Amino acid sequence: MDRKVYEFISKANNDPIVERKTCTATGEEFPIFTSHITFYETIAPTFAWQKYGLPTPTIKPKERDRRRLAFRNERLLYKRQCSASGKIIISTFSPDKSIQVYDQKIWRGDTWNALDYAMIFDHNKTFTEQYKSLLEKVPHQALIGANNENADYINLTADSKNCYMVIESSNNEDCYYGYWLQKCQDLADCSYCHGCEFSYELQNCRDCSHSRWMTDCQNCSHCDYMYNCHNCRDCIGCVNLVNKQYCINNVQYSEEEYTTKRIEWQNTITKYNALVQSSPRQYSHATQTEQSCGDYMHNTKNCNVSYDVYDAENCRYGEHVWRNAKNIMDVSTVGRDAQRIYESINTGIGATNNLFCAICRSSSNMIYCQECFNCQDCFGSVGLKNQQYCIFNKQYSKETYQQEVAKIIQTMQQTNERWEFFHPSLSLYGYNETVAQEQFPLSKSQAEMVWFSWHDEQTTDYSNLQTIDPTTLSQNIADIADTILQQVLVCSKTKKPYRITKQELDLYRRLDISIPTLHPDVRHHERVAQRPERTLYCRKCDASWEDIISVYPPAEKVATKNTPFPVYCEREYQKEIF
């Protein structure tokens, strides 16, 4: 983002910029706000009666985001042996990685103890090299999740039942190939949905049902091909409608006319696409927000430069922030009553005062910890459960813990290991296995140049498989027999093979959906590509010409003459649509 955006935010929030820094990774400028300094002072920990202040970052927000996301593999699942039982399990860790990986049930059980891998910190060595050694010793979970039933192929998901390839989600049932689903049921190929059911290809929808191919819709049912519609029912190919029924391409019909015309819905797609590209859009996807800027925000207060945020307050530089998260900065996936979290990823469920952590749940006062659950006051530890006062997995008394952590911090200052997120070399994944590659793609040489590792994928020979071209199948799902379940389909775009599961086929039949012709990963990436990039711009409202912050770039920022649709501030958009 350019300087104008930050200056706009500073003025709008009465939050002066106190320092402008140069990113050591890119050479680009980024600001430090007064509110940032206040936050750093608030969360700075105290050990042995001395408060250790947090330095301002050395790299810009996007590079901090990249570094965190390089520690999370979401979608690449492998078969490998459980290091405890020897059984074949599904894991985010490829079989060539020499770390210990346990089946989730074993990892959460009491047959092993992470304290058995304790290390004593050596002040003659760096924190990073010693922490890497601990990471390579302590067993890791094959998949991340909790309280799931009949759902072996899901990751970063909790409290879900009968789901398959659902990622970064919770409280769902009978959902397939989904991403960031919350409290949903009977969905396939949907992303960023909340409270939706019995639908297909929904994106960024809330409380919708019995619908297909919809984007940015709320409280809609029995609809197909809809964009940014609210409280609609029985509509096809519409954009920006509110409280409507029996509409096709934004034209009102009687119930009888609609019933006749909807049979020819295929003919509406061209008109629908033209409507989507020409209809006004709000500056960003934001509802019920107060002093907030970002994208895909709902019920937020004082949340700035944040994305996919709802029910949150006082958040800066966050993504996937949700369910009553408060007072956090530089985070990826933090929620469920998490508070005072800094430079962390996948941290939540009542977590408080966590600094530089990954996958820590229901834990407080944690610093540089990974995969720790229900813990308190731990430093540089991995895989702990229900522990307190641990350093590198070694148990200490409260007083000794305070003294030792103070000494380690002083050593880290001497070795120029600043208080920032884990060094890239500590990620257990190849950069190209992680979400970082999806959002900030790098080549192998580029990744290795900045200390990220790389996963060299093994070429799989599919020549012996008996495959079929899904484009040759009948478009009528009623014609598809159960024998499809034994067949291998080949993606029409990437030629990568995939299968159809029984539950998936049943849902397609109920929804009257033809068999997909693209691999699930391709379908996911195409949905992601439809969303605006996570970048903010200064531009003019196309109705009032006042200055606004938007996720849609102005004409001078894009190759084409302008975005094909007008972009409005909230006031003008409300007048136009509602």
Instruction: Give the whole-angstrom CA distance, residue 272 versus residue 500.
Output: 30
Residue 457, pLDDT score: 82
Using 50, 70 and 90 to split pLDDT, how confident is the model at 556? Answer: low
Percent of the chain with pLDDT over 90: 91
Instruction: Give the whole-angstrom CA distance, residue 71 versus residue 69.
Output: 5
DSSP symbol at 56: P
Give me the amino acid identity at 147.
Answer: N
Domain extents for the chain?
A: 467-529
- For 463-495, the pLDDT digits (tens) are 777 889 999 999 999 999 999 999 999 999 999
DSSP symbol at 209: B
List Cα–Cα distances, 101 to 139, 142, 309, 428, 434, in angstroms: 5, 6, 32, 11, 18
- The pTM (predicted TM-score) of the whole model is 0.93
List Cα–Cα distances, 553 to 119, 517, 529, in angstroms: 51, 33, 16
CB 318 within 8 A of CB 304: no
Helix (H) and strand (E) counts for the chain? 13, 37
DSSP symbol at 556: G
Using 50, 70 and 90 to split pLDDT, how confident is the model at 266? Answer: low
Token duo for residue 277: 């590209």
The closest alpha carbon to 166, from 533, 518, 149, 513, belongs to 149
DSSP symbol at 69: H
Q: Is 414 exposed, middle or buried (0-12, 13-18, 19+ CB in 10 A)?
A: exposed
List Cα–Cα distances, 20 to 3, 29, 63, 144, 347, in angstroms: 10, 7, 16, 38, 29
Q: Is the pLDDT of residue 559 over 60?
A: no
CB 86 within 8 A of CB 135: no
Residue 222, pLDDT score: 97
Q: Is the pLDDT of residue 564 over 90?
A: no
CB 337 within 8 A of CB 347: no
Using 50, 70 and 90 to split pLDDT, how confident is the model at 561? Answer: very low
- For 69-78, the pLDDT digits (tens) are 999 999 999 9
3-state secondary structure 426-454: HCCCCHHHCHHHHHCCCCHHHHHHCCCCC
Token duo for residue 40: 């750093």
Residue 355's SS3 state is: strand
The closest alpha carbon to 358, from 349, 371, 377, belongs to 371
The mean pLDDT of the chain is: 94
Q: What is the CA radius of gyration of the chain?
A: 25
Q: Is 339 exposed, middle or buried (0-12, 13-18, 19+ CB in 10 A)?
A: buried
Residue 464, pLDDT score: 76
Instruction: Give the whole-angstrom CA distance, residue 5 versus residue 11.
Output: 10
Strand 293-322 versus strand 325-335 pairing type: parallel
Q: Is the pLDDT of residue 339 over 60?
A: yes
Per DSSP, the residues of 218-247 read BS-BS-EEEES-BS-EEEEEEES-BS-EEE
Residue 513, pLDDT score: 94
| Continuous segment of H or E residues that includes residue 458 | none
- How many other C-beta atoms are found inside a 10 Å radius of the C-beta of residue 509? 12
Could you tell me if residue 489 is left (phi over 0), alpha (psi between -120 and 50 degrees) or otherwise beta? beta
Residue 577, pLDDT score: 85
- For 496-532, the pLDDT digits (tens) are 999 999 999 999 999 999 999 999 999 999 999 999 9
- How many other C-beta atoms are found inside a 10 Å radius of the C-beta of residue 179? 21
Residue 458, pLDDT score: 75
Instruction: Give the whole-angstrom CA distance, residue 422 versus residue 326.
Output: 23
Residue 207, pLDDT score: 97
Residue 2, pLDDT score: 86
Residue 146, pLDDT score: 85
Place of tokens 């409380």: 207
Using 50, 70 and 90 to split pLDDT, how confident is the model at 263? Answer: confident
